[in-house]
Amino acid sequence: MLDVLIAAWLTAATVRELPGQPPVVLAVGRTVPATARWRDLARTVACRAFAGEVLTYLLVWPPGESESPIPVAFYRERVSCPGAV
């Protein structure tokens, strides 16, 4: 079930990979996943792109036509990835 929830969120999210030390992955979506799932989501997003230590930011913007949307949820996680997937 967790894999299905993560896959659904990632399908609708915009993911950006930024090289650096540590590399950064920014994922922006429009739905708020359950708080208990954010760590797993961060790991999935980060390890999809990079190996080693990765800093991951997950942001959620509400749906709408606002020119300056304000995030309704934000999560930052540093994860250790065994290798790029």
Domain that holds residue 72: 2-81
User: Distances in Å between the alpha carbon of 29 and those of 19, 22, 56, 82?
Assistant: 21, 23, 14, 25
- Could you give the number of structural domains in the chain? 1
Per-residue pLDDT of 63-84, as tens digits, reads 665 666 677 778 888 999 986 4
pLDDT, tens only, 18-27: 888 888 888 8
- pTM for the whole thing? 0.71
CA distance 56 to 70: 19
The predicted-structure confidence for 2-49, as pLDDT tens digits, reads as follows 566 667 777 777 888 888 888 888 888 887 777 778 888 888 888 888
What is the model's pLDDT at position 1?
A: 45
